[in-house]
Each structure stands twice: as C-alpha cells, then as structure tokens.
Structure 1
Amino acid sequence: MARKFFGTDGIRGRTNSGIMTAETAMKVGQAAGRHFVRGGHRHRVVIGKDTRLSGYMVESALVAGFTSVGIDVIMTGPLPTPAIALLTREMRADMGVMISASHNLYADNGIKLFGPDGFKLSDAAEAEIERLIETEIPLAPAEKIGRARRIEDARGRYIHAVKDSVASEVRFDGLKVVVDCAHGAAYQVAPSAIWELGADVIALGVNPNGVNINDGVGSTAIEALQARVVEEQAHIGIALDGDADRLIVVDEKGRAVDGDQIMALIATRMHEKGSLRGGGIVSTVMSNLGLERYLASKGLTLERTKVGDRYVLERMKEGGFNIGGEQSGHMIMLDHSTTGDGTVAALRVLTSLVRSKRPASEILHLFDPVPQLLKNVRYSGGAPLENETVKAVIAEAEAELEGKGRLVIRPSGTEPVIRVMAEGDDQSQVEAVVDRVCDAVRAAA
C-alpha cells in the first residue's frame, strides 16, 4: 500500500508545504507517542535536530504533540542523527526523534523516528503510526500532560562515545585533517572529537545560520573541501552531510573517495584483524561491481539490498554482519552504532591512515570502479515499468549485460521518477543500455 507520510528514511518534504507542516509534526508526535506507550512507567522521548531554520518550528510542534499525550520530552539541540540513536538507548527513552532532511538544502526538513533500542522503526511500526496520524488520538488528562526540558551535556556524551570507538592507544598527532561539517548537525562535535584525538583540524562548514546547511559544502558538494585539502597540504579531508550520518573522504591529492571505497578499507582491516562478522559486508544495489569483485578476491561477500540504509541495517541484523553502508556514504558499524555514523567512520579511516603510515591516496583506492551511469526519467502518471514494451527493452538490456555488468531500475520513493542505472566493463555499452531503457520509459510515460 502506498504511503502518505513515510518514505525510505522517515518523513521528509518542503517545510510549510505538503506533509512537512507544524500540524503534521504535532500529529506525528501524538501518534508516535500513542504507539510507544507501553506499561505504567513515565514515558519519555529524546528529540534532536540539525541546524535548519525550520527545526525550531518542527521541534516545537513535536513537543506539543508528545506532551499532549503524556510523553515527557528531552531536547538536545543540534546533534548528529547517530547521537540521538545513542542517547535514546543511554537515557532509557521509549523513542528518539531526529529532525533533519539529511543532505537536502534548508527549505526541506524531515522527521526520523527511533525505537527504544536506538534502531530506526520497521515498516510495520511506521505503517501503524501512519494509521494513527489520521485518527483522533486520545489526549492526556490535565494532570498527566508531559514535561519538556533541554539537556546541556548531550554534545559531550556523544564526543566521548565516538572517541571510544577508537582503540585507546591510537592518536592522530601529526595528521592535518580538513573537516567539512556542511553547516549541519556535527558542526561542533566532529571537529572537537578529531582534535581531541590529536589531529590538527581545519574546519569548514561550521558556521550555520539556519539557511546555509549543505549549501556548497558537505558530502554532496565537496569541491570546496577538495580545494582546501590541496591548498593546506592536508593529509586527508572529511565531508559529512547535514545530519552527519554520511561520510565522503578526499585524499591528499584532492580526489574524492566514496562509500564503496571506504567500506572496502574498513572491511579489509577488520578481516585482517579477525573482527569482521558475517563473512563480508552489506550494501545496496547501487554499490559498484568493482567493490563486489574486490571483496570476492579477499574471500568476502557483498550482500545487496534495495536502496536505503534501513534495509542495509535489517539485512545486517538478520545475517550477523557488523559492517554495511551505501555508496553515498552511509556507514553502519554495528559494534559502535545502531545507525549510520559519519564521524565514527571517519575516525576508523583516520586510524587506518595512522597505522599504515601510508598516504590516503594509497589506502583509500583499493579497487578500480567499473563504469557506472545513473539517469533519472520523470513521468507524469501511470506505471511506465508495467508497459510491455518497456519490459521487453529491460529484458534485452539485462541479457546484453549478463556476465559483464548489471542493470538496476527502480522508482523513486519520493517523486515521480524512474532511476535507471547500469554498470559494466564497457563504458560505451553501459551508456547505450541506459539510453535505450530511458527512451523506452519516456515513450511509455
């Protein structure tokens, strides 16, 4: 059944438009509060946010919703998404909420929900909350309305936790690191954690003003970071996104390193130490075939899921894996976090840099990606992927790439767009296949 509110990563949209309004946020608070009320104890929720101007509005509406159904609220202010997952568990809260639209620009915002275990909610839980949003939620009697307060030590708690993910003997003395925080949620904690471990930190994207989040900075706009790394003759550059659950790296030569290469490095080091579980890693259908071949050469597997870090996490839990992620930079290390954590992943990369005593350009380019091309086709209505001609073209393309590459076609979960991705050893073949499928989809749309 089609969803009205939840997408692949919580609720997201343009603020004061569509579903992302104060009214919706209040109803989400009431519905989620109702869903998680179990037992006779005093219930509580931890709410964090990134640095968007609309965060004040959404936070206030959520607080009103939760307290109106008798839930106590703890507000942390700007903190990364993984910090909220951590604090939800540490504070024995019944749920956690992160207000963020991740890598989107400031005009968008979103609501991510966590259960008491710090993991994102299942499809079934989100479906139940969706159902409750459109019902009349019973309100708490006057004497049982929830209380709300802010805590001041949340940043320090998170910094301590991410530093604990690094072995106690590891120090980053002598490393010059450029850290781009996207004017987002990690603008205070990420540079502080890396500096406290001994690195010389040059910070970018650490002056949020409510409207500059992800604007020309961060993991989706790394040009400024690349230039600064080269200019400063830094050893490495670290780019986080708006809520700091993604990581993209820039080596000392200014070259970008995506999530596939980062996962390859982390998995290899853990395999060498005997700490990699599951016999490989979990990623999505978008990860490059080069990563799969590299892991196979090490006797490791790559298990693929549909796009979305929540699906990666589900498979990790099912299969006993402790490393997973996405090409886009989500890095999930279950030994340290219940969700993607860009800062923890960055510390793992920096640790490898220190221990190897080799430049980033050597340790972070472990395989050659095969040519990969992704194109989006917008459509106005209907179901173009159900068209018989489109099906035939897709079948022909898959047969052509068999044994030499892959074809991945998926509808967007948030807009009327079909995403067509192909990869293979022959660049011209990949381009031709993608163009043929896109043309067929356009003709049927």
Structure 2
Amino acid sequence: MRDFASSDSPEVQEQLDRLAALSLPQGRFGLETITTLLDRLDDPQTRIPPAFHVAGTNGKGSTCAYLRAMLEAEGLRVHTATKPHLVRYNERIRLGGELISDELLAQLLCEVLDTAEDLGPSFFEVTTAAMFLAFAREPADACVIETGLGGRFDATNVLPHPAAVGIATLGIDHEAFLLRPEEGTPHHPLARIAFEKAGIIRPGSPTCTLAYPEGPTLEIERAALAAGAPLHMRGQDWDITFVDVIEYSDRHGALTLPAPRLEGAHQADNAALAVAMLRHQDRVRVSPEAMARGIDAAEWPARLQLLARGPLTAQGPVREVWLDGGHNVDAGLAIGRHFAGHRLHLIVGMLANKNPEAIVAPLTPWLASIQAVAVPGQDCHPAPAFAPGARDAASVGEALAALPDDGLPALIAGSLYLAGDVLRANEQAPG
C-alpha cells in the first residue's frame, strides 16, 4: 500500500516496514484502540500545546496551512499534523515548522509499535500516537491537527479540549466508510457526511464552519448543542466577500485581508475559516497583521500548484504545468472554476474506485486533449473511462513530451498518490 512510503533512512525504513505489516480488522470502527494505546503512553494528547483541529471533505489541509502560517507570522512555534504525505512519511509530522527528523521519527514509531504490539492497531492509529508523543515532548505555542477519514472515528478525535474546531467544505467522498449503514445516523448523504465531520466538536471548544445546505447545517447545530460548544457558522456569525481582497466581518469587527497566493477562488473561503477559528478562541493571540502575513505566506503543495521547470516538466515544450491531487466532485468543481475559459491539456491518473467524471466533467469545455497515466502500485482507470478520444500514456513524462508546442497549459490531476510521484520526479518534494 502506497500510504506506507519508503525512506532513505534504514532506521525509519525498519519501522515503516512494521507499519506496512499492520492490517485493520474489517468492520472495526471506533476509538477504543487508539484510546487504549494512548493510555499506555500516558495520554500525550492531554499534554500538547493548544490545538486547532480541522475536518472537512475538501479544504481542511489548506485551512491547516493558513492556520500554521498565521500562527508562525505571529512569531509562535507551531507543530502541525497533516495527511497524507506526498513524498516522505515525515511530512505528516512537523515540529516547529520543520519536518520531523528521521532519528526522532524512527524512535517514536518504534516506541508506539512496541507498545501496541498486542492491540492490532492500524497505520493511522500508530501514526497518530507517534504524532501526539512528539507534540507532547517538544515545546511549542500551538498545534494544528488535520483529521484523516471523516472525524467521528478518526484517530485524532481524542483531543479533550481543542482551542478551536474547524469544519471546511463538505462533499461526498470515501462513501464505503462514511456512508455505511448505521442505525441512528442521517439518511441523506451530505447530512451523514456532516454528522461524521461534526464528531470532532468538543464541549466548550469554539467551532467554526463554512455555510452548508439545511440538512448538514442542522446536523452540525445538533452536534454543537449536544456538546455545549459555541458554534460560529459562516453567514450567521461571520462572513466574507471576496473580489480582489478578503473583506471579513464578525462580532469583533471587520478586517480587510489580502487575496491568498494559493491558487483558486475557494482559497479565500479556507483562509477566512482559519481567521474565524483564530478570532473565536482565546487561548492563542494572533493579530490581524499576522493573519494577513499568513494568508500571503501559506503554502500547500499539490493543490493547484504551478510546477517549476524541473527534470519532469522539462520533458516537453515550455508551458505552464499545474498539479492538483483532487479526486472528488468538489475538488473537480474547484479546478474547473480555476481554468474556466482557458484551453488546457489534461494528464490524469485516477484510482479505479474514484469517479472519472469528478475531474473531467467540469473541465470538458476547455480540454484540448486528455492523456491517462497509471498511478504506480494502484488499480487505475484506463483512457476510455475519461473520454472517447482520450489516450493512454506510459508515464507523466511521456505524456508531457507528447503534447504539441502550442503554449497551452497542462494540468496533472486525479490522485494525491500521482501528485507525490510528480513532485518527487520534478525534485519538488515538500520540505
């Protein structure tokens, strides 16, 4: 499985091999295993700096990137936990802004795996426990933690009292897990997704969200009421308008903030959600000036990322080459809005359990060509799944080399696994 990655460090690789040998028992949902494991480790999640916990179908990683950048712009030391990694497993844990070192990573993984030997933990439970150990042992001013799958049963959902909770865009993804039949859960798919994400809401922790349709909104309101958590929803308690700048307003007043450097109009929503989370909590102070600097400084690779000229992108005529790892409907719509009205070439690799239309349909009016590539180690859709005229290519490099010298941009999209391979090949691994 590609999630486990590989490492140039023999010590890290030894632990990654142990991770790869883990298997999650089918049908096991719940927090019992991670709770037991953390108890054996003296509950490090109770000893970390103030944490900002973010869930969502799309946008949660970008929201975390903005939170980190804003906190750091205030001069604070920040730990972050994001997922998945693109090139190196170390990307999942940053300490004080730096990727966790191979030496410390190997030590932590070994400690957790030894402790959990009889528990049958999952990859994600081991990773989460190692992250909490690192955050508890390394001093910092704040932590930013991204959920993985869903929220209610995500391994990170053991935080007793986050400084603030955020819920980003909601959409349909990971249906086999998040929409599985369960008594007492909502029947409408998007309401069920909201129910799962709202599972991270904690008593007393201010919760900030975007605006959603009525069904999802009601699920989040119910969860916040049951938890006794202050709820601050866009359109009710805070709001923004965005043209050339972000005009943000809430009960504390109004702010004029710069447009994000991250591409895509949806990034203004993600940045504003991060601002709302910071302004509706009182455990970490961040000035409006630091928020503005953070919006400008935030980086989040493989999300509408314009690639540099490198070993991979040089395999063809000079052109803009964009990379996006999005693979669901909401991600496709965001990509479509970005390229609307502009002709482009699409190079797409998508896992067989994903819907090709999610990426292709929003771009169809603007596509000059489609080439399908395989994602190494994964079952993928062939070219005919994307469009009648689509062609298969042996690799991304071959696909770029086959494009005509027409100056049109190229977009590589469809999978975060593919995005990681692209960044590695173009020597742009996140650092």
* TM-score, normalising length: structure 2: 0.30
Report which of the two has the higher share of strand. Answer: 1
Structure showing greater radius of gyration is 1
Q: Relative contact order (alpha carbons < 8 A, sep ≥ 6): 1 or 2 greater?
A: 2
